[in-house]
Amino acid sequence: MLSIKRSSPALGVEVEGIDLASQLTPDQFEAIRTALLENQVLFFRDQVLTPDEQKAFGLKFGKLHIHPAPLGVLQRHPEVIVIKADETSSRIAGETWHSDVSCDAEPPMASILYLAEVPPIGGDTLFASMYAAHDALSDSMRRFLSGLTAIHDGSRNYEGRRPVSGPDHEFPRAEHPVIRTHPETGRNSLFVNRMFTTRIVQLSEHESGTILEMLFRHVENPAFQCRFAWKPGSVAFWDNRCTQHLALWDYFPHRRLGYRVTICGDQPFYRP
């Protein structure tokens, strides 16, 4: 059994007493997997991970994802994205609510971020439960949204970056259900986000814009959130299928440095 401390009523737990660099026992692996499904995001403190160790931990949960347009990756480790901000940064990744790479046809199921350096204060990450966002909608709105699909377009967020598949290659773009059924828990969640979702396919442009704006604002309700204050060696492991997150950049010109591995997911679907 893991020792866990809940972060908020909506989602998140801090997990104690586990070294992610170690060979997990089958029981430990199962406990972490179950905790993720139940709590949507897990936090670990005081970890020391080499790139190989972080990848090995991620690989226990699935194949590792290669980002379509990363700002930077580690040399010889294309699966490890470098998350860095300092006094030379003009923007950072993830300042808008999003689910990672939801523009992929098969968006990543989870992400594991390890921070090695943190600013003296600030640089928290906010997480929001999309189960809670879904469940808080009225029955009428849920009925209206069920069965609708939306376009998630990478070019909106990744503009200015180069797609990894070559200069002529386009950023990913995909159509996903607005309400998504989690393939493991069977629970439904809201699956549109301000970073990537551009259009609800079955509505007029005006209708789509208005409904999406309403949903994006709905997602930002603090009652659906938890907020994680990083320390050096902290790890966050979140389920992209039922959460969104936002990185705060309130620490300029200080430095924040970390590494992310991302686990492949499957094609979103909706089951009433």
Q: Which residue ranges make up the site for Fe ion (CB under 5 A)?
A: 94, 100
Nearer to Fe ion, 7 or 243 (CB): 243
Nearer to Fe ion, 94 or 154 (CB): 94
Nearer to Fe ion, 100 or 104 (CB): 100
* Least distance to Fe ion, CB of residue 98, Å: 6
Positions marked active-site: 98, 100, 245, 260
* Least distance to Fe ion, CB of residue 83, Å: 9
d(CA 248, CA 124): 6
Q: Which of 196, 154, 160, 162 is nearest to 178 (CA)?
A: 196
Q: For Fe ion, which residue has the nearest CB? A: 94
* Least distance to Fe ion, CB of residue 103, Å: 12
For 209, list phi and psi in degrees, rounded to 5: -60, -40
Nearer to Fe ion, 58 or 94 (CB): 94
* Least distance to Fe ion, CB of residue 69, Å: 13
Sheet holding 243-247, edge to edge: 225-228, 125-129, 243-247
DSSP 201-264: TTS-HHHHHHHHHHHHHHHT-GGGEEEE---TT-EEEEETTTEEEEE---STTS-EEEEEEEE-
